[in-house]
Homo-oligomer: A and B are copies of this chain.
């Protein structure tokens, strides 16, 4: 009656609370490796930390032209020459922001996590926290004649891997109804997987597109981010 929003409803036995309070001695397993249920609180806190840091670290790669390196150009001109880093910054910021929103939605379904979920989540966090690297790479090479294709392909492959990691996390969570607040019916799961697959195909296409034009590839990533963003906003109103 006075529970917090995250609390489990009063009429349900909260398995994670039990697990933590009891130290799960009931199954006789040793203390250091066999808790089978986790509250999602720390999973979310740790994930939020990684998302927040990855999205904020991107700013470190917005280079300030050194004052004695302008070589007669104006600052504005020198900054203008850095447009690939601003462009890549904005796209990567949007991508991490959207995946955070999706992670938020996905975690909202979870009643408790087990180790497979924790490790699937860690794999997703790996793909998220690495994003500043391909972003820096693409910013540096976006206008390099031949190498731009390699940089764009690595950037696109990172996004594809992130999409796959998100799908794996979804599968890890939905594989066991006990992990969920409410069981999902098969149709809902299928529909979600279909959506993920379409997203994956798009990212696969951007890898191919990288060898046509790196700039165009980044534009497509920006459009995909905008699409996901508006798609979710329209879901708000639906």
Contact call B235/A115, Cβ cutoff below 8 A: yes
Residues of B within 8 A of A182 (CB): 21-23, 25
Contact partner of A67 (CB less than 8 A), chosen from B100, B129, B144, is B144
Check if A104 sits within 8 Å of B150, measured CB to CB. no
> What's the tally of chain A residues with a CB closer than 8 Å to chain B?
115
Q: A35-B105, A119-B229, A233-B116 are in contact. Are A2 and B12 (CB under 8 A)?
A: yes
A2: chain B residues within 8 A (beta carbon): 2-3, 7-12, 14
B129 touches A23 (CB 8 A): no
What B residues does A1 contact at CB under 8 A?
10, 13-14
- Is A71 at the interface (CB under 8 A from chain B)? no
Docked Cα-Cα span, A114 to B42, in Å, equals 20
Distance in Å from the Cβ of A22 to the closest Cβ of chain B? Answer: 6
Scoring A16, A46, A90, A151 by chain B CB atoms within 10 A of each residue's CB, the highest score goes to: A46
User: In the complex the two chains form, is A6's CB within 8 Å of B147's CB?
Assistant: no
* A192, B233: Cβ atoms closer than 8 Å: no
List of B residues within 8 angstroms of A13 by Cβ: 1
Chain B residues with CB below 8 A from A224, complex form: none
Whether the Cβ atoms of B45 and A19 lie closer than 8 Å is no
A53 interface contact, C-beta 8 A: yes
Q: Does chain B have a CB within 8 A of A215?
A: no
Provide the bound-state CA to CA distance between A202 and B18, in Å.
34
Interchain CB contact under 8 A, A53 and B62: no
Q: Which of B11, B22, B102, B180 is close to A32, meaning CB atoms less than 8 Å apart?
A: B102
| Complex Cα gap A202–B213 (Å) | 43
Residues of B within 8 A of A195 (CB): 30, 32-33
Report yes or no: A34 in contact with B235, Cβ–Cβ below 8 A: yes
B46–A17 touching, CB < 8 Å: no
Q: Within 8 Å of chain B (Cβ to Cβ): is A201?
A: no
A137 within 8 A of B: yes
With contacts A59-B132, A181-B20 taken as known, whether A233 is within 8 angstroms of B115 at the C-beta atoms is yes
Cα A34 to Cα B195 with chains together (Å): 13
Q: Report the bound CA distance from A231 to B105 in whole Å.
A: 29
Top-5 shortest CB links A-B: A49-B52, A75-B147, A2-B10, A5-B39, A32-B192
